[in-house]
Structure 1
């Protein structure tokens, strides 16, 4: 089981899943974000008009080709009402109507997705990646409450960061000395405390953290990006 976009607080950004802060104020945009939003709306209107016209023309052309393939016309060509005395509605009209309907459905679905994303993130509030948790924790699902999921991602990030700092400090440690040993001990205690807090919080939610080091979140996100790019290239 994993967390998906069916979760009320999760959105998909760039092919990856993110949970937004459930405590942040939504709907408040800065002046710069408002300008960007207005620009996006204008681009959306222009693109929508282009798609409607393209759907109409493509559908009509496909209808004409179908009529020609069926032998209803001698040669493929576009016949317009009012300009051609022999014009009668046929597959060209059906194709144009279907093309426009397809374009409208696409625009409505895209608008609904953008509306849902804006209603969740408010344009700017903090968010955290879900992919590392989905790839490592056991029992994580859409049934986890929004606030619990946000808390879990925050504690996972803290534990993974403390673990990474401990590994880096151990690898970069110079000659053994009192100062090095003290820093290493503090880093070890910090990593252990963060890991213990993560495990206790996850246990309360019915989620299990497997034994062993936490996977590097940055490596997981980079691997996800590589897999997505590989699928696109196939």
Structure 2
């Protein structure tokens, strides 16, 4: 072992996954501080991987229960953008294969943007089906935000191909031809809903970044339409854009 440099040991460790590997026990005998530091980090990383795998398995509970009842095409549904003052509300529906595995998948709000984009790519690549639905600010004003959210969710579910036979929905009991199971905080409890939350948030964020190029004074690329101090100041100075929700306070009193 001591014939290997610390850099060489680090490279070999990066390929190892099993703590029972003889190379690990040999590394533990190496008295060099650099080797022990690498080994400590390796063990910490393996422990983190183990926790992520356990969390992922826990988040398959609702999918496993549905499959035990004979359902095969289980769709997760979630939305993004109910609270902002500007931009659409977006819903996504996604059907994952039974063997889908993506440790670290969670509520999109808990995942950094770069990792979220990576997960979005993997989900779209491996999903059996997915669809993202937008409902505009004008429709939100006409319907109200709750009904607009319902519309976006139903559209996303109805647009899936293949057609789902069971729906897992974040906190909303949709009326659809399919059996529906609403789950409070479902984006942190179900891999299907979590995947939908990733797709919905990613799509909406991209829309708001593009909108920022049309209306640079509002900081949409940073606030995503939420009522930050900068955003509220821009509304007060420049007024509302066609993409603002006129039925939302504090915009409504100024219109």
TM-score class, shorter-chain normalisation, is under 0.3
Could you state the TM-score of these two structures normalised by the residue count of structure 2? 0.23
Could you state the TM-score of these two structures normalised by the residue count of structure 1? 0.25
Structure with greater helix share of residues? 1
Larger radius of gyration: 1
Structure with greater strand share of residues? 2
